[in-house]
């Protein structure tokens, strides 16, 4: 297939890039553009670059990073565009991202479809723009915009691009026809940004974006490298800036951070594909039902409405139904007011939402998701009520964080239509969706759920059935070690600091206070003591029994002043911890940050390796996706498995063995898969069952 073609339209040479799915700048594309520019027909007076398919060029081909470079490189393409004797226009639809926007900046003009977006998202891959983006953009649109796009990595709309001068024109429709006319009539001159004067220094912008990078992108090297590159070009001129940008890009491309983030990019896309051996056909879903109008039910209904489904909402308590229904409409109104959705879309979502008066409201539903209280007997009652009334082929999904999907499925006829959909709260905001496949779940039902996840804009990961599935089963190992470290002598502050310094957004004790200590307390009451480490929660239990349930009661591990959420040191907590240690006969010891991090993170990795070995996760990369999207594991570490591979599985296995010697094998038995991969030189993040 020819990925680059060209044809004359009047006096305009139209070069079309057609490299599905996203017109990435693969070698053949680069070569095709350079060749087309090297042999201009004599009739041509202007050149137009357009893309076939759903988008303009979405950037460099990420899969080529880390491989030997093939000539021509992207810099050669940009040089050919700048040196082209004719004015060059880029016509942008869909997205012009990274190298795609950079390519357009080497053109003389840019015209955009009104729905197009442009951006420099390289920081999301641990990189900086590598083809002049930090130099040309500031010369076109000023320092603030240059920093904004490349530091935040967030794309902007066509109208914003017009406002800041990136776009020369925006067309409502007929982009190519309008762009040809623009190239013929308006694009009369070369306007090379390489020769444009440097913009004035903007100290405020540098301060603001440096602050943003430190606050919002803590631990990441790329945003600071962007700032360095922009400043270098401003102070030393275009050519020096370009050279500096290239050097920084080369360093970053081989860094752990960028490798980790590129791993996550592909892992997130892979996670949404059916696991090996699953060959179902997706079932069309148009009408969905939600049982339970609490926080989770509301979020799930909003996600379904965003996916274009008709939604029937029901709650056995009429008052709760009414509150939930109003809450959904309020969120839709809020999204409209913030410009997130159009008036037409808001009207459509309101119109597609209905309240059911009783269970018969679900008669026509293709899928019903229950989001009632986390209790097996209550969920069985709901499923029984549904099974009596809904179509025999309607999918029954349970939003549970821990419960046994197989037990629930066995309680209804046709258990092959049952599965778990574990949404994270708030369900309409959080991207992660664990799709829990029961022993009877059919392949058709599973692929239907994956398709639904995509329609809802979620990052879906398939999990098998076990207590807590992938995410919560692993987090309990992490929480257990945090609790034991506390008992042995570390303070909540020291533990929280060590893991936040590692890159977690919040420490386990701040997190527990925020979630409410009573939640875990009541969950534990449903478990038998052999299912968890009772010593790890002695302090938690003591706090709850004293009425210190966390933020909501003004104290837990920390104290909170005047409803403020800032955790403050509380001497009373120190006394409580000390009393528990004395009662248990424990002499506290000094514990350093390294031990804290290793015990918490390696416990997480070991539990993950155990469940991957058991086949609960289909792929190691799925575990990384769960942790990066549901539990705040730093993306620049790529997830727990990517991190484990980076520090070395033999090292992780050796540390786990030493913890087993010190603390016993009950919780520190190395997972067989971890041992196997450490011995064979394999990797957890790329392991596939």
Given candidates 102, 335, 598, 624, which one binds ligand CAA under the rule CB under 6 A? Answer: 102
Q: Which residues ranging from 264 to 283 are in contact with ligand CAA (CB under 6 A)?
A: 266, 269
64: left (phi over 0), alpha (psi -120 to 50) or beta: alpha
Closest CB 557 distance from ligand CAA, rounded Å: 39
Whole-angstrom distance, CA of residue 109 vs CA of residue 138: 16
Helix (H, G, I), strand (E, B) or coil at 453: helix
Closest CB 191 distance from ligand CAA, rounded Å: 21
Given candidates 16, 19, 95, 257, which one binds ligand CAA under the rule CB under 6 A? Answer: 95
Q: Which residues ranging from 58 to 77 are in contact with ligand CAA (CB under 6 A)?
A: 58-63, 74
Contact in structure between 449 and 288 (CB atoms under 8 Å): no
Q: What residues does 109 pair with on adjacent strands? A: 89
Helix, strand, coil percent content, the chain, rounded in steps of 5: 55, 10, 35
Of 9, 45, 79, 122, the catalytic one is 122
Contact in structure between 30 and 61 (CB atoms under 8 Å): no
Q: Which tokens hold the place of 626?
A: 């769960």
Per-residue x/- track, 371-410, ligand CAA (CB under 6 A):
----------------------------------------
Whose Cβ is closer to ligand CAA: residue 102's or residue 434's?
Answer: 102
Whose Cβ is closer to ligand CAA: residue 273's or residue 414's?
Answer: 273
Whose Cβ is closer to ligand CAA: residue 56's or residue 469's?
Answer: 56
Whole-angstrom distance, CA of residue 451 vs CA of residue 4: 32
- Whether the ω angle into residue 21 lies within 30 degrees of 0, i.e. cis, is yes
Per-residue x/- track, 237-266, ligand CAA (CB under 6 A):
-----------------------------x
Closest CB 54 distance from ligand CAA, rounded Å: 7
Binding region for ligand CAA (CB under 6 A) out of 39-47, 94-102, 467-475, 652-660: 94-102
Q: At what angle do helices 222-236 and 203-216 cross, to 10 degrees?
A: 170
Whole-angstrom distance, CA of residue 56 vs CA of residue 50: 7
Whole-angstrom distance, CA of residue 469 vs CA of residue 611: 9
Closest CB 258 distance from ligand CAA, rounded Å: 10
Closest CB 39 distance from ligand CAA, rounded Å: 25
Contact in structure between 433 and 407 (CB atoms under 8 Å): no
Contact in structure between 130 and 246 (CB atoms under 8 Å): yes
Whose Cβ is closer to ligand CAA: residue 102's or residue 496's?
Answer: 102
Closest CB 251 distance from ligand CAA, rounded Å: 14
Q: Which residues ranging from 8 to 67 are in contact with ligand CAA (CB under 6 A)?
A: 21-22, 24, 55, 58-63
Contact in structure between 167 and 107 (CB atoms under 8 Å): no
Please state, in angstroms and as integers, the Cα–Cα distance from residue 117 to each residue in 54, 224, 315, 397, following that order. 12, 24, 41, 36
Q: How far is CA 32 from the centre of its chain?
A: 34
Whose Cβ is closer to ligand CAA: residue 129's or residue 608's?
Answer: 129
> Does residue 2 touch ligand CAA according to CB under 6 A?
no
Q: Which residues ranging from 507 to 536 are in contact with ligand CAA (CB under 6 A)?
A: none
Whose Cβ is closer to ligand CAA: residue 53's or residue 554's?
Answer: 53
DSSP-assigned letters across all residues of 313-349: EE-SSHHHHHHHHHHHHHHHHHHHHTTSS-HHHHHHH
Closest CB 276 distance from ligand CAA, rounded Å: 15
Per-residue x/- track, 305-344, ligand CAA (CB under 6 A):
----------------------------------------
Whose Cβ is closer to ligand CAA: residue 266's or residue 373's?
Answer: 266
Q: What residues does 368 pair with on adjacent strands? A: 289, 396
Closest CB 67 distance from ligand CAA, rounded Å: 12
Q: Is 122 a catalytic residue?
A: yes
Whose Cβ is closer to ligand CAA: residue 130's or residue 620's?
Answer: 130
C-alpha dihedral (48, 54, 57, 58), degrees to nearest 10: 160
Whose Cβ is closer to ligand CAA: residue 50's or residue 58's?
Answer: 58
Helices (H) and strands (E) in the chain, counts: 28, 17
Closest CB 130 distance from ligand CAA, rounded Å: 4
Closest CB 282 distance from ligand CAA, rounded Å: 16
Of 82, 102, 268, 488, the catalytic one is 102
Whole-angstrom distance, CA of residue 514 vs CA of residue 155: 32
Whose Cβ is closer to ligand CAA: residue 456's or residue 678's?
Answer: 456
Helix (H, G, I), strand (E, B) or coil at 396: strand
| 106 contacts: CB under 8 Å, gap ≥ 6 | 77, 78, 79, 81, 82, 88, 132, 136, 193
Please state, in angstroms and as integers, the Cα–Cα distance from residue 13 to each residue in 4, 9, 162, 405, 613, following that order. 13, 6, 25, 60, 57
DSSP-assigned letters across all residues of 562-604: TT----B--HHHHHHHHHHHHHTTPPP----HHHHHHHHHHHH
Contact in structure between 260 and 638 (CB atoms under 8 Å): yes
Question: How many residues belong to the site for ligand CAA (CB under 6 A)?
Answer: 26
Per-residue x/- track, 120-159, ligand CAA (CB under 6 A):
-xx--x-x-xxx-x--------------------------
- Across the beta sheet with 156-157, the strand order is 95-97, 117-119, 156-157
Handedness of CA 350, 355, 359, 364 (dihedral sign): negative
Whose Cβ is closer to ligand CAA: residue 21's or residue 197's?
Answer: 21
- E-assigned strand segments in 252-376: 287-291, 310-314, 353-355, 367-370
Q: What residues does 461 pair with on adjacent strands? A: 434
Closest CB 578 distance from ligand CAA, rounded Å: 51
Whose Cβ is closer to ligand CAA: residue 320's or residue 430's?
Answer: 430
Q: Is 250 a catalytic residue?
A: no
Q: Catalytic positions, please?
A: 102, 122
Site residues (vs ligand CAA, CB under 6 A):
21-22, 24, 55, 58-63, 74, 95, 97-99, 102, 121-122, 125, 127, 129-131, 133, 266, 269
């Amino acid at each position: 297939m020819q990925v680059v073609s060209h044809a004359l339209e009047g006096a305009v040479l139209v070069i079309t890039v057609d490299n599905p799915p996203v017109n990435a700048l693969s070698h053949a594309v680069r070569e095709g553009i350079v060749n087309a520019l090297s042999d201009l027909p004599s009739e041509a007076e202007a050149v137009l670059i357009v893309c076939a398919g759903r988008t303009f060029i979405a950037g460099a081909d990420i899969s080529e990073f880390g491989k030997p470079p093939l000539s021509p490189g992207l810099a050669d393409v940009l040089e050919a565009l700048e040196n082209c004797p004719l004015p060059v226009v880029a016509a942008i639809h869909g997205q012009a991202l990274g190298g795609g926007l950079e390519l357009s900046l080497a053109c003389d003009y840019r015209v955009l479809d009104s729905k197009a977006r442009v951006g420099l998202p390289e920081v999301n891959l641990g990189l900086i723009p590598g083809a002049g983006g930090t130099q040309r953009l500031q010369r076109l649109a000023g320092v603030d915009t240059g920093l904004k796009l490349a530091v935040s990595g967030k794309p902007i709309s066509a109208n914003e691009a017009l406002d800041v001068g990136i776009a020369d024109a925006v067309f409502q429709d007929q982009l190519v026809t309008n762009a040809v006319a623009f190239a013929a009539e308006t694009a009369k001159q070369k306007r090379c940004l390489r020769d444009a004067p440097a913009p004035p220094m903007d100290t405020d912008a540098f301060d603001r974006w440096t602050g943003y990078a430190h606050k919002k992108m803590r631990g990441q090297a790329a945003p600071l490298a962007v700032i360095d590159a922009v400043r270098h070009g401003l102070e030393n001129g275009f050519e020096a800036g370009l050279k500096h940008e290239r050097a920084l890009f080369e360093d970053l491309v081989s860094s752990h951070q960028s490798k980790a983030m590129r791993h996550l990019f592909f892992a997130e896309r892979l996670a949404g594909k059916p696991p090996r051996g699953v060959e179902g056909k997706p079932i069309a879903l148009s009408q969905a039902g939600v049982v339970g109008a609490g926080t989770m039910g509301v979020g799930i209904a909003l996600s379904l409405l965003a996916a274009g489904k008709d939604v029937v909402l029901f709650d056995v308590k009429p008052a709760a139904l009414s509150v939930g229904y109003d809450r959904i409409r309020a969120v839709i109104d809020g999204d409209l007011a913030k410009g997130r959705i159009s008036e037409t879309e808001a009207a459509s979502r309101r119109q597609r939402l209905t309240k059911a008066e009783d269970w018969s409201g679900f008669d026509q539903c293709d899928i019903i998701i229950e989001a009632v209280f986390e209790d097996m007997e209550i969920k069985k009652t709901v499923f029984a009520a549904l099974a009596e009334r809904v179509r025999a082929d309607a999918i029954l999904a349970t939003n549970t964080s821990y419960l046994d999907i197989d037990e629930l499925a066995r309680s209804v006829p046709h258990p092959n239509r049952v599965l778990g959909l574990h949404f994270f709260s708030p369900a309409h905001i959080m991207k992660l969706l664990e799709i829990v496949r029961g022993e009877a779940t059919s392949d058709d039902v599973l692929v239907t759920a994956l398709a639904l996840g995509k329609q809802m804009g979620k990052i879906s990961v398939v999990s098998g059935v076990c207590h807590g599935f992938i995410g919560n089963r692993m987090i309990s190992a992490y929480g257990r070690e945090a609790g034991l470290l506390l008992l042995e002598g570390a303070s909540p502050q020291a533990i929280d600091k060590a893991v936040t310094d590692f890159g977690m957004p919040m420490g386990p004790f701040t997190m527990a206070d925020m979630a409410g200590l009573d939640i875990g307390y009541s969950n534990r009451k449903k478990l038998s003591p052999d299912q968890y480490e009772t010593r790890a929660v002695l302090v938690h239990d003591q706090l709850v029994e004293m009425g210190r349930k966390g933020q909501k009661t003004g104290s837990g591990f920390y104290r909170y002043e005047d409803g403020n959420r800032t955790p403050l040191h509380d001497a009373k907590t120190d006394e409580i911890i000390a009393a528990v240690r004395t009662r248990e006969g424990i002499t506290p010891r000094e514990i350093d940050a390294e031990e804290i991090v290793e015990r918490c993170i390696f416990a997480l990795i070991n539990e993950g390796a155990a469940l991957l070995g058991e086949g609960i996760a289909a792929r190691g990369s799925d575990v990384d996706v769960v942790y990066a999207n549901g539990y705040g594991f730093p993306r620049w570490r790529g997830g727990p498995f990517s991190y484990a591979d980076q520090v070395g599985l033999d090292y992780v296995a050796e540390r786990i063995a030493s913890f087993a010697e010190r603390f016993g094998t009950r919780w520190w038995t190395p997972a067989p898969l971890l041992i196997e991969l450490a011995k064979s030189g394999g990797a957890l993040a790329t392991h596939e069952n």
